[in-house]
Structure 1
C-alpha cells in the first residue's frame, strides 16, 4: 500500500537511520524542570490559558461570511468578559494567547487582559498555518505579532504558543532568535522541560499542552464538515478534574488550554466554574501565568540538579 495513504512522505520507509533520527532529534524534550516546591511552598502549580482566536480562524482560511465571523465575535463580545469576571471572582491569573490580528480588532480586550493582571502572549499573526510558510514569512509574521502586542499594551510578550500548536522546521530557531523565554505548543511531558535542538540545550522552557486539556476537541462545531460537539460539559469537567487531582498528587503542573468562543458559552462556563471551585478547595495551590511558571522552571534549570520528593497528598474533605 502506498505510504501516501497514511499521510507519510513517499517512501519514508526507505529513509536511512541518519534521516529518521535527524527528524526525531531536531526538537526534543530535555531536562524536566520541576522544583522541590512551587513558590509559596505550594504543592501544585495551576496554569490556565485562553487562546483568544476570535475572528482569525475563518480569516486565516479566507472565509469572510458574516456567519463564520460572528462565531469568532462571540468570543470577544461575550466569552472573554465572562471569563475575566470568573477569573476575577476567584482571584486567579491566567495567560491569554492572542493572534495579533485578533488584538488589533479588539484592542480594548487585549489591554483589559494586562490591566486585570493577566499575561498577554503571542499566538501568531492571523492564526496562520506555519507548516505552510517559508522561514522568512514565518519569522516576519511572528516578529510583527510580537511588536503589535507590545504596541497595544506597552508590554513586550515573553511567551509564545504557535497557532494550532504546529512546529515547522524553522519555528524553534525563530523563537530563539526573537528572544522568547518560553513556548507552550509541544506535548512531550506533563511537566515543564527544557527544549533541546539536535541534542543541544537551548535554555527555552516548554510548558507542554495536550488535546486532553483543551476545550476545542470536545466542543468544536463545523456545520459543513464532520466535526461535531461530542461531549457533555460535565463529562469534560470530570476529565479535567481527574487531570488536576493527578497533578496534585504528583506535585506537578495542571495546565489547561481554553478558547473564549468555545468555553464562553453558558453551559460550558459552568464546567469551568465548578473546576475552579474544585481546585480552590485544595490547600497549597499556586495559580500562575505561563510566564511565572516558566520563571519557576528556569530557576531549576539554573540551579543544582535535585530529585524532587513528593509527599503524600492530604485527604480532601468532600
Structure 2
C-alpha cells in the first residue's frame, strides 16, 4: 500500500490493486449433470460461538446465540436436508468443530461436504501472512481429523479476503474458494493476471440470510424483512438462474436460519426448487469438479 491518497496514485498503483486478484474466464458449463437445467449449491456457515469469541465477547448472552446454531439449528437443518435428499456444504471454523464434538463427523456421515471457514472466524485482512497461513493450516488439520477427508474448498470468514489469501489457497492445494462476488457463475481466479486453476463459486449478500435477519441488541442492526419475503427473493434468484441455465448458490447460518419461522421458508424453497424437476442439487465441491472437468482445468 502507498501512503498517497487514492486520487494521487499513478496508473501502475491503482491498476496493480485491481489486478491482484481478478475474475478470469467463466467456467459456466454448457450442461449440468443428469440433464438438469440449473445447479443448486446450498451451503451453511456453522459459525456458532466463533464470531463472539473472535471479538472477545465472552459473556453468556452472545455465546448462547451461537450455541443455538449447534444445539437447535444444525439438527433441524440436517433433518430437512435428509427429508429432501439434498447434499450441502458446511463451512466450519475449526473452533466450532472443536467445541461441538461429533458435529463435523455427522456432516460427513450424512453425505455432506465439510470445508474451511477459518480458525475462530478471524478477520483475514487484520492478519499478517504468516498468521493467516498458520490458522488456515491448523483449521485444515482439525477438519481432516474430524471429517476423515481433507477440505478442498475455502470460504473466508465474513468473506474477508486478504492480499495473501489466494496464494495460501494455492499453497494448500485447494480447488476452490467461495468468498468473492465478481459473477453469478463459477469462474477461474487470476493472480496478477495469471490463471491459477482455482475455481471461484461466487457468493452474494442477496443470497445470504445474515443481512436480512441479523440483530444487534445494543446497536442499530435490526431484521426488517419478513422471512417469507426473503423466500420470495431467493425464489426469484433461483428462477433467474434456472432461466439462464446457471448456478443458484445460497449461504445460510445455523444460528440464523435455524429458527422456526425461517426454517419454514427454507423448507418451502427446497420444495419449490425440487418441484421444477430441473435442479441438480450438489455440494460446492461437486459443482467445482464438474465445471473443472467441463472446462479442462488441470492446475
Fold equivalence (TM over 0.5) = yes
Give TM-score scaled by structure 1 length: 0.92
The match for 1:83 among 60, 77, 86 is 77
Structure 2 gaps of 5+ residues are none
The match for 2:33 among 39, 44, 48 is 39
- SS in structure 2 opposite 1:36? coil
Give TM-score scaled by structure 2 length: 0.97
Q: Distance in 1 between matches of 2:119 and 2:101?
A: 14
After TM superposition, the structure 1 = structure 2 runs for residues 191-206 of structure 1, keeping only pairs within 5 Å, are 191-206=185-200
The match for 2:169 among 175, 178, 185 is 175
User: Kindly tell me: are residues 14 and 184 of structure 1, through their superposed partners in 2, closer, same or farther at Cα, counting changes over 3 Å?
Assistant: same
Q: Distance in 2 between matches of 1:171 and 1:301?
A: 24
- SS in structure 1 opposite 2:91? strand
Q: Counterpart in 2 of 1:145?
A: 139
- SS in structure 2 opposite 1:281? helix
- SS in structure 1 opposite 2:121? coil
RMSD between aligned residues: 1.1
1:266 aligns with 2:260: yes
- SS in structure 2 opposite 1:273? helix
Q: Distance in 2 between matches of 1:10 and 1:106?
A: 47
Q: Distance in 1 between matches of 2:111 and 2:184?
A: 26
The match for 1:224 among 218, 223, 239 is 218
Note the C-alpha offset of 1:226.
1.5
Q: Counterpart in 2 of 1:162?
A: 156
Structure 1 gaps of 5+ residues are 1-7, 304-318
- SS in structure 1 opposite 2:24? strand
Q: Distance in 2 between matches of 1:286 and 1:22?
A: 39
Q: Counterpart in 2 of 1:282?
A: 276
- SS in structure 1 opposite 2:102? helix
- SS in structure 2 opposite 1:47? strand
Aligned length, in residue pairs: 296
After TM superposition, the structure 1 = structure 2 runs for residues 56-135 of structure 1, keeping only pairs within 5 Å, are 56-135=50-129
